[in-house]
Chains A and B, each alone.
Chain A
Amino acid sequence: MTSTRPGVRRVSKPRALLLLAALTLSSQGCGPRISVFDQRTQVLCPGQEAELPFRARGDLKMVVRVDDPRLAPQAGESPDLRAPDTVTVTVIAGDEAAKASFLAVARSWPETVAFDARPPADGVIVAQGTKDLAWWGADRFEVAAVAAPPGRDLEVRHAGKAAAISGGGSSEAFLGTPLGGDWELRSALTERERAGADPPATSLRVSVTAECRTAR
């Protein structure tokens, strides 16, 4: 491997991880320091690649790790990256360390949207928040279908649309909306929750079939 300072590491999928084990970059002079490192986790759809720009000085070590042990690289090989494998890149300079992760996804994959719920009021549980994919560097994912978990009817609002989804059922009302953004999930207390047999749910969730925009 070669490097420049400031440098760019290019990581693409599939068979992109040529960065194996440890890479030591040497330079003379001041104490080790990482001055710039883009640490956002990035999701890679099939065929996509990501850049990892960094600027550093001093004695550096770059460690690239595939977290799925199935993919532990053998000597002399470069591992395949298969969904949903995670690759972590760590740059170490002296006692500084900076870490970035890449997550490979399939063209279409199940993604959970879940939020902690407020304590129930008037027999209704509400959970809302922003599904934030920004740290994945990704606004390129969209919704294909939304499903409610078994046993819990949900009213779902997202991207200006709304749908009532019965427990275990699914809806395509949100087709083509961005995966990220504001979501609101509402549920009446179940019979068991009303009777005190179960504690009220502390979170609500839907299962979203997400797709890379490039897939459509």
Chain B
Amino acid sequence: MPWKDHVKTVVLVMFENRSFDHMLGHLQLEKVVPGVNGLQDPLSRYENLYKGNVFNPFVLQRDDPLVSDLPHEWDEVATELSPVPGGPMTMGGFVSTYAAFRLKNNPVSADPGPQPDPLGFFPSDLVPITSFLARSFCTCDRWHSPLPTSTQPNRTMAWCGASKIHDTSSGLRLIDTDDIILDWLERNHLRWRVYHDGLPFFALYPRAWGHVLGDGFKDFEDYLRDMQAATPETAPQVIIVEPSYNDGPHLGPDHPNDNHAPLAVGWGEDFLRRTYEAATANPTIWAQTVMVVYYDEHGGFYDHVPPPAIGYQTAGEAPFTFKSLGPRIPGIIASPLVRPGSVCSLLFDHTSVLQFLAEAFTPGQPYSPEVNTRKGQGLVSLSEALADEPQRPPDDIPSVPSQPIPVATALGDNIAAPPRTAMQAAFELAARQLLEQRPEDTAKKYPELLHWKAAVDAAR
């Protein structure tokens, strides 16, 4: 029986800003997943040079918050990949880019130190849930972000299959797009849900506001309960799980868990565990589920694999041309249809997910002409990683580690400070415009935004 007959629900979980080696490089180093292209001993084989000095990746000893975010805008990524202008991609410019970033943001602390943050990577015990999913299911070790740039363009490629923008740092901006995955789901009469832990990224697309305020968007806390009550006839065919964004509006005990630096990843690990627990809560539904865990882009963290030269020209009024994909991101496919502990080394980017959705739910009808173009450039569908038959008995659902996950965070808040990044500004703009333009719907759907706005306005 082909895989299509086994796939009734697809769960998409996209985190923020970590590279493959940073989160999953340990799989090869610790020999927990055979055949994966991770980091190998000796780590001295991976070099970044800066001011005559040699820097190598290093194992993080703890999951601490970083001192700051890392550079990952398009011009910074270009240097990370090719430290010598016009030279080959050596993946050797992460430290020099980081030092320049520090110098620009805080000249007092330009020192990258002997162990610069971009080169740190997690051992399995500091990312227990991510590592568990990789060991238990299928690791995609050739999944690149679509564009060598920052969050907004890459997420737009993921949710729209095309992007009019090439950066995130163009100031206060919501994202213009002609079509979005939510439109595609509606057009094709598919059952879908977005479970969000806070204001979702989709709020940055005014085109999506009708959905963001509608019944398709539900609080993440409902996910487990909904799955326990679901039947194959009622379960959503597509579920998008949105974490709580570090750049989003926060107040009180709500803590971000999207893994965006400088966050410690323990929060995201716990969120991933709860997502997996919800996805597997109903064995009947899980038997026909493909859960995809991926990251929007590398976030300035080192990866040792140069991205393939698959270019892209943005669709905006001032087209911007990228000459390659972005660095590799962590990608895991969790499903009964993948072999336990397997590795898929086929070339994926985020549009591979859209190809897969179209194959699964609109057979014979490609997702979009843009996504079809990506396919023609060599990016394949996620379906290529699936077997035609389940790879384990229906009652064999790996139990997620239940150990406590230590998390570290800074106390206090910056609610009185204006947004410090373009992403924070965009989230704040979206929240304010939703409250202004759709006050009743927004207050009903996201009551926390009312409290957040009152606190922010009082503090500033």
Contact = CB atoms under 8 A, between A and B. Distances in A.
Given A119-B86, A129-B51, A183-B52, A92 B410 contact: yes
Given A31-B412, A39-B108, A95-B412, A114 B115 contact: no
Nearest to B411: A94
A65 B92 contact: no
Contacts of B92: 116, 202-203
A115 interface: yes
B88 A199 contact: yes
Contacts of B65: 97
A98 B67 contact: yes
Given A116-B49, A132-B51, A132-B52, A39 B109 contact: yes
Contacts of A113: 52
A129 B83 CA distance: 13
Contacts of A95: 410-414
B114 A103 contact: yes
A48 interface: no
A187 B376 CA distance: 42
B75 interface: no
A52 interface: no
Interface residues of B, number: 32
Contacts of A57: none
A69 B60 CA distance: 11
A202 B108 CA distance: 31
Given A97-B410, A114-B47, A41 B114 contact: yes
B150 to A, nearest CB: 22
A99 B67 contact: yes
Size bracket, chain A contacts: 35 or more
A97 B67 contact: yes
A131 B52 contact: yes
A135 B110 CA distance: 8
Contact of A131 (B51, B108, B113, B411): B51
B400 to A, nearest CB: 27
A43 to B, nearest CB: 9
B113 to A, nearest CB: 5
B61 interface: yes
Contacts of B86: 119
A111 B459 CA distance: 52
Centre residue among B62, B65, B412 by max chain A CB count within 10 A:
B412
A129 B52 CA distance: 7
A67 interface: yes
B248 to A, nearest CB: 16
Contacts of A32: 412
A95 B416 CA distance: 13
A51 B92 CA distance: 33
Interface in B403-425: 410-414
B87 A118 contact: yes
A116 B83 contact: yes
Contact of B84 (A69, A90, A118): A118
A214 B393 CA distance: 69
A41 B51 contact: no
Interface in A37-74: 37, 39-41, 65, 67, 69
A117 interface: yes
Given A96-B410, A114-B54, A203 B47 contact: yes
B114 to A, nearest CB: 5
Interface string B32-52: 000000000000000101011
6 contacts: A37-B109, A95-B413, A97-B65, A116-B83, A202-B84, A203-B90
Given A115-B52, A117-B84, A203-B49, 5 more contacts: A41-B113, A69-B61, A88-B113, A119-B86, A130-B51
Interface of B: 47, 49, 51-54, 61-62, 64-65, 67, 83-84, 86-88, 90, 92-93, 108-115, 410-414
Across the A-B interface, the 3 shortest Cβ-Cβ residue pairs: A131-B52, A95-B410, A132-B51
